[in-house]
Structure 1
Amino acid sequence: MKAEALDGAEDEERSGNSELIQSVVITGQIIEALAAAGQPMRLTALAGQLGEPKAKMHRHLSTLKHLGFVDQDAKTETYRLGLKLVYIGQSAIDQFDLRRLAEPYMSRLRDLTRQTVVLSTPASGDAIINAVVESPNLVTISVRLGYRLPAHASAQGRLNLAFAPLAVQQRILARKLQAFTPRTMVDPAKLRERLTQIRQQLFDVSMDETLLGISAVAAPILNYDNELVGAIAIVGTTQDVHEPVDPEQLKLLRACTKAISLRLNSTAYEGLGIPNLREFIFD
């Protein structure tokens, strides 16, 4: 009876905000931690990362396992995300189609810059190409759908990493970073400085970092919580897209991503002096 009373009290416990139920908050944190880890985790590691007692963490994991949201390896006793979350994730994608929302803005940006425009979405710190609108030029840069851009070596990847949970940033920056070209950024200290800069200016540039001769300038799409849900990049040759960024390209790019972000009720672009261009106003 005492244990049941404690569990009931835990469900009613509030977390700073009177509308938040602490047990639900912890459940969300567990799912996010398992997603960010990129590999199965032990109970002790999860409890330590979230700062919760092991007994309390075990109760949450047992419940999530019962519901199919978490799986446990019988041999190692480690926990990983369950298959049911795959179906839930797909349903979320079906209900929130960022590609469909972004494509009119991407086409307009392509027409204004005459460069290939790419939409990417977050994937554990990296970026995955979700949509491409190719430039009208005779010589054009083609980008393959589903291609995974490295977190440290691309403008879109660094944008995703800049807005990723701290655990994801630490995991990626702790590993050996591959130098794809002589210009690839592989110094963790410099990358950390760059991520701070990205969060302040809301754009990033990469020149010759994954492939010599190819460059990109990218800006984030942010939601109502100012969380990154995607990134739009202008991609071209280093002759057409370069650092320092062409002021007109940057103005158009950030006006584009600001317009999409405003559709998602984001306030992140306010105060940066980025104009609302009529070219990106759609009924």
Structure 2
Amino acid sequence: MAKDPIFSPLSKRSAALPADLKLPAVSGTTDTMLEFALRQRLRPEGLPEHALGRMETLVLQLARVQNGMSIEFDLLAFDSPQLVVFAADHGIADEGMSSLAPTMTEQMVMQLLRGQAPVNALADLHGFELTVVDAGMAKPIAPPSDTKQHGSLLLRKIGYGTRNLMLGPAMSTAQAVSAVHAGMDVVRHLPGNVIALGDVGVANAVSAALLLSRLCGVPLVDAFSRDDTETGNLDDTQHVKRVEKLSAAASKHRNAIGPFEALAALGGFEIAMM
């Protein structure tokens, strides 16, 4: 079997970022004293160490991220939790890579704003405030006028959908930089201490599959699985043809091997913002 053209040695991938992309510093989470104190508090009396299993690992990870004193974790609570859904269209949808009509991105956004999507019920149940961000939809979007609006709509449009990555890079470097900065700006101005992210966009599964394959070395046939909403109803022949198209697209962008290069060549505006 021929080697998947999307593969490349991880050691040879460029780590260079554009000069105008200023990423915020991320502080380390290692704290030996905090870790020791938390492990003592997570050990139920009379039970062996690590009795909580996977739950202990998750609690420790969250505690490290919070980076506070151990006593403060008795007082932790959701403070204005936020759910942010980024919406954008993908040029590769023109290649018939999705079973959804191109207009479905707009329809799904309107469902969110009308409170009719499943995620609205989850947000209401857990007290999350919903924000929908137009990251790059193909058409202008306006809040619904026929019903009460659920959540807020932010306009951060980078372009009217990405370009068809079968023909060239999905985004220019400038667009990709702008999208990353827009994502930072959206989150920076939201309240609260908890955030959940979501995305809406016809054919976004294609970009996600290409990025997963390019950055993590997953074969395209596995990255572009048939479990996704946009691919689950394909017969074998249709699915093989789509994978072959994606393989050709990956080969066209074989030199986009660094994370940012891959994002610009294969990604979407909503993915860049997230």
Instruction: Tell me which interval the TM-score lies in, with the shorter structure as reference length.
Output: under 0.3
TM-score scaled to structure 1, two decimals?
A: 0.21
Which structure has more RCO (C-alpha within 8 Å, separation ≥ 6)? 2
TM-score scaled to structure 2, two decimals?
A: 0.22
